[in-house]
Amino acid sequence: MATVTVNGVQQENGFSTTNSAGRMNGLVIGQNTIPMKDHDAIKLFIGQIPRNLEEKDLKPLFEEFGKIYELTVLKDRFTGMHKGCAFLTYCARESALKAQSALHEQKTLPGMNRPIQVKPADSEGRGEDRKLFVGMLGKQQSEEDVRRLFETFGQIEECTVLRGPDGASKGCAFVKFSSHAEAQAAINSLHGGQTMPCAYPQGASSSLVVKFADTDKERTLRRMHQMAGQLGIFSPMTIQFGAYGAYSHAVSLGSTGEETQMMQQQAALMAATQNSYLNPMAAIAAAQMQQMAAFNVNGLVAAPMTPSSGTSTPPGINSTAVPSLAAPMGVNGFASLPPQTNGQPTNEPIYTNGIHPYPAQSPTVSDPLQQAYAGVQHYAAYPAAYAPISQAFPQQPAIIPQQQREGPEGCNLFIYHLPQEFGDAELMQMFLPFGNVISAKVFVDRATNQSKCFGFVSFDNPSSAQAAIQAMNGFQIGMKRLKVQLKRPKDANRPY
């Protein structure tokens, strides 16, 4: 009697199961075969497929390697647009492995300029503790070169050199081993070592970076570090960020690589990506990384609210989990912010890229990191919840009078050099930490509907406005620095 797993539940049953190599791949009941997959089946990510190919067109290509359990072309959640990639699960694990070795990077489908990608989806292979980030490679080192460099340490499941749109190497790669131990061995032997001599014919060389690839969580956290570091508003954090800045080159390299990979095609990470855009702090950090071209404002407002970690405070709920931040916020939105109140340097310039010039100091605060994250998410979650979707969340407290435009004198800011992608909601999110935002308005070209890259933010009190100027003027986003000034009073520049 066969034991069959259906929906994760092991069952004894009397039905026969088809098999080719002693493996089950279908449950036969009468004339019908209910597709079954191996319990160790691998979900494959298929990339670089032409957007005109649907499931039915792709099926023949992949059926060659075995019975398909599930094949799904990824579509944009809102537009339904084909994303050029798919998930494929064979009934048999073996088929997936065969398809991967036969197809991955082996052929280029019509109309594509890169070879097809066939590899385990990122959702597979639990735990990223066997995936390595490799930095400081030579630009001309290929996947094959990297593979050769790492293959002595174990079985390589995946090896990808990160490339720009033009196909040029970014000088870094991901290498996934079949086990943590193998990955660790590679780190031990290769990290800090010299790159292959051929990479630097002139004798120049630089030491190889080999580290575990960041997990999604780490990526998100790092964005928050950068964001908060730039804001310079979480005073206990300034110290911590100094230490973090020491992470330096290897980390920023890693970040770039992962961002790139994500934007390119890692559909399995799309959910995480969209989360980061749901979270304005992460979104702004993402802007910092010059990924704003992909900013999806529709996604921001229309997607279901999904906190990027379990610690966020639900919108509109006064958090007691973060008293140090939540309590003062009721006063002017950010009591710890105003200058000259906390003994910290107040005029320090805003440093970009999360690298703070102050040396690392002993982190004496009990756990400022967690507090600040909680705080960040508190601010972050709130504004994302209303904006144009107040209809979608009718239970939201209607705090935002959309009509009310201008605050009292000294409360209105003019903001220039906004990222093109920023709308009212993002502008609001960016300034909410400094107080009660009465209105946030990005100016839009009426012909093109494009942002004019400037806007206004009004607070209900002048000190919030001053705090915002202090923190946000000069704040770098992408290649630009925000200009944040008091709006000119209406009667300014009038001769009399």
CA-CA distance, 78 to 73, in Å (whole number)?
Answer: 15
For the record, the structure tokens of 131 come out as: 């995936």
Out of 102, 405, 408, 409, the residue judged to bind DNA by CB under 7 A: 405
Give Rg (Cα) of the chain: 26
For the record, the structure tokens of 313 come out as: 């405070």
Q: In the bound complex, what is the minimum distance in angstroms from residue 186's beta carbon to DNA?
A: 45
Q: In the bound complex, what is the minimum distance in angstroms from residue 390's beta carbon to DNA?
A: 18
Cβ neighbours for 29, distance < 8 A, ≥ 6 positions apart: 15
407 binds DNA (CB under 7 A): yes
Q: In the bound complex, what is the minimum distance in angstroms from residue 464's beta carbon to DNA?
A: 13
For the record, the structure tokens of 46 come out as: 């298929």
Out of 15, 200, 351, 416, the residue judged to bind DNA by CB under 7 A: 416
For residues 364 and 403, which CB has a smaller minimum distance to DNA in the complex?
403
If DSSP states are collapsed to H, E and C, what string results for 218-258?
HHHHHHHHHHHHHHCCCHHHHHHHHHHHCCHHHHHHHHHHH
417 binds DNA (CB under 7 A): yes
Out of 56, 126, 446, 494, the residue judged to bind DNA by CB under 7 A: 446
Residue with tokens 């009941």, as numbered in its chain: 29
CB 417 within 8 A of CB 481: yes
Q: In the bound complex, what is the minimum distance in angstroms from residue 439's beta carbon to DNA?
A: 5
For residues 44 and 457, which CB has a smaller minimum distance to DNA in the complex?
457
CB 131 within 8 A of CB 212: yes
φ/ψ of residue 72, rounded to 5 = -130, 120
Out of 444, 462, 469, 478, the residue judged to bind DNA by CB under 7 A: 444
Out of 305, 389, 453, 469, the residue judged to bind DNA by CB under 7 A: 453
Please give the angle made by the CA atoms of 243, 249 and 252, to the nearest 5 degrees: 90
Sign of torsion, CA 6 12 17 21? positive
Q: In the bound complex, what is the minimum distance in angstroms from residue 409's beta carbon to DNA?
A: 11
Out of 255, 456, 461, 477, the residue judged to bind DNA by CB under 7 A: 456
CB 17 within 8 A of CB 4: yes
The number of residues that bind DNA (CB under 7 A) is: 25
User: Cβ-count burial of 7 within 10 angstroms (0-12 exposed, 13-18 middle, 19+ buried)?
Assistant: exposed
460 binds DNA (CB under 7 A): no
443 binds DNA (CB under 7 A): yes
Out of 131, 219, 223, 441, the residue judged to bind DNA by CB under 7 A: 441
Q: In the bound complex, what is the minimum distance in angstroms from residue 434's beta carbon to DNA?
A: 14
For residues 47 and 407, which CB has a smaller minimum distance to DNA in the complex?
407
CA-CA distance, 27 to 36, in Å (whole number)?
Answer: 6
For the record, the structure tokens of 67 come out as: 């019975």
For residues 169 and 461, which CB has a smaller minimum distance to DNA in the complex?
461
Please give the angle made by the CA atoms of 331, 333 and 334, to the nearest 5 degrees: 95
454 binds DNA (CB under 7 A): yes
- Judged by CB under 7 A, the stretch of 146-154, 236-244, 269-277, 477-485 that binds DNA is 477-485
Out of 266, 274, 308, 439, the residue judged to bind DNA by CB under 7 A: 439
CA-CA distance, 256 to 172, in Å (whole number)?
Answer: 9
For residues 107 and 405, which CB has a smaller minimum distance to DNA in the complex?
405
For residues 126 and 490, which CB has a smaller minimum distance to DNA in the complex?
490
For residues 249 and 405, which CB has a smaller minimum distance to DNA in the complex?
405
**Would you give the end-to-end CA distance of the chain in angstroms?**
98
For residues 37 and 441, which CB has a smaller minimum distance to DNA in the complex?
441
Q: In the bound complex, what is the minimum distance in angstroms from residue 331's beta carbon to DNA?
A: 22
CA-CA distance, 433 to 395, in Å (whole number)?
Answer: 23
Residues at the site binding DNA, with contacts judged by CB under 7 A: 405-407, 412-414, 416-417, 439, 441-444, 446, 453-454, 456-458, 480, 483, 485, 487-488, 490
